[in-house]
Amino acid sequence: MACTGARCGSSSWWSSSACAREQQVAKLVSKPVALNEHIFGLTDGIIGTVAFGSVYGADQFPHKGRFQEVLDEAMDMMASFSAEDFFPGTGGRLVDRLTGLLGRRERVFKDLDAFFELNIEQHLDPARPKPDNGGDLVDVLIGLWKEQHSTVRFTKDHVKAIILDTFIGAIDTSSVTMLWAMSELIRKPRILSKVQEEIRAMVGRNHFWRVKEDHVPNLTYLKMVVKETLRLHPPATLLVPRETMKPLEIGGYDVPAKTRILVNAWAIGRDPLSWGSDSEEFNPDRFHDSDIDFNGAHFQLLPFGAGRRICPGLAMGVMNVEFTFANLLYCFDWALLEGMPPKNVSMEEAGALTFHRMAPLILVPTPQGDSSANMHFTSLASNYVLN
């Protein structure tokens, strides 16, 4: 499994999806846009390319739209109340059947299974052209399935499960994080200008008119913005549940063995004892000269969890957010609709598994630089075709 993680984080996968990123960014030019839809589509395209290869974004892949609908329904279903979670066995299953949840769950995962089965068959097709850069995620997983060097048997069902985890864990959380980051920045023009100045000074006007992956490690203030966004708006407000193995005491409370523990990452990130009296304010400068990070070593910031159950896609998710968000800030100047003051931007939350914006974020993007450069960028992006 280590090789799977290594492949997910390799730069070759990110460069192979550059065409999809540039096509999506080009759609944002010079008109008011609902950023929610564009960022979700952009993230979906990147993760889809990494998982399934370039065919995911092509017209000859007719199942993509249906897959997105089923994936959305699966997210809603997993966040719904299940009696079987609280009353394991026949009784809980009967309640879920009477409420319709069991039938809905079976239908959704049957649809997902059919989608994954089709994609695996496409990858196993002998007539399929040899993929570049060693292939996509499905190629790697099929290799593990066929090799069977491990003492633990790796089956086709494992391939499907990892693909599902990749989509559910990466698309929604990455897009939600970028939307909250833009929401906070548009309400703080000074901070927005500061992070854009850093990106544009670092990147300059290169031939590609975009941020490249090797620029990202040097974008210190951008990383502070992302870190502050994850502090206030963790993608999963409650971390993966834990269970106590023996009786213990937490904060003065006696907790019996076999107790399910839910860690509230949202509340931890806003705790005044850790973050001061301005803990509710968006202020990336609080991380200046600070070694606090979200890698699980600092318990006041746990958007991805910690320990052995820390999010396995942490590195890939953070790169997805930083790289994509840097390009949006580099390529465009962003403004609210005419006459709308920044303080009126709604920050109301909604959701279950993830807390997203209740209202769409409507912004007006204007390409940065002179008109000839804008035309060059738009032409460059529109000429890319996935095949």
DSSP state of 60: T
Query: What are the tokens at 207?
Result: 């031939």
Rounded to 5°, angle at Cα 287 from 286 and 288: 95
∠ CA 368-193-225, nearest 5°, is 115
The first and second tokens of residue 115, run together, are 């989608």
Q: Which residues of 224-258 are buried (b: 16+ CB within 10 A; e: fewer)?
A: bbbbbbbbbbbbbbebeeeeeeeeeeeeeeeeeee
In the structure encoding, which two tokens stand for residue 90, read together? 């026949």
- The structure tokens 């670092």 sit at 202
Residue 131 DSSP label: P
H/E stretch holding 363 reads strand 362-367
Distance CA 307, CA 346 (A): 35
**CB atoms inside a 10 Å sphere around CB 187:** 17
Q: Hey, what are 302's tokens?
A: 């746990």
Closest by alpha carbon to 196, among 371, 285, 326, 365? 326
To the question of whether residue 331 is assigned a binding role by annotation, the answer is no
Distance CA 216, CA 26 (A): 21
Number of helices (H) and strands (E), helices first, in the chain? Answer: 16, 9
Give the span between the Cα atoms of 295 and 307, in whole angstroms: 9
**Spatial CA neighbour of 218 closest among 231, 229, 233, 202:** 202
Type of residue numbered 55: V
Structural tokens at position 84: 């079987």
Length of the chain: 387
Known binding-site positions? 311
Known binding-site positions for heme? 311
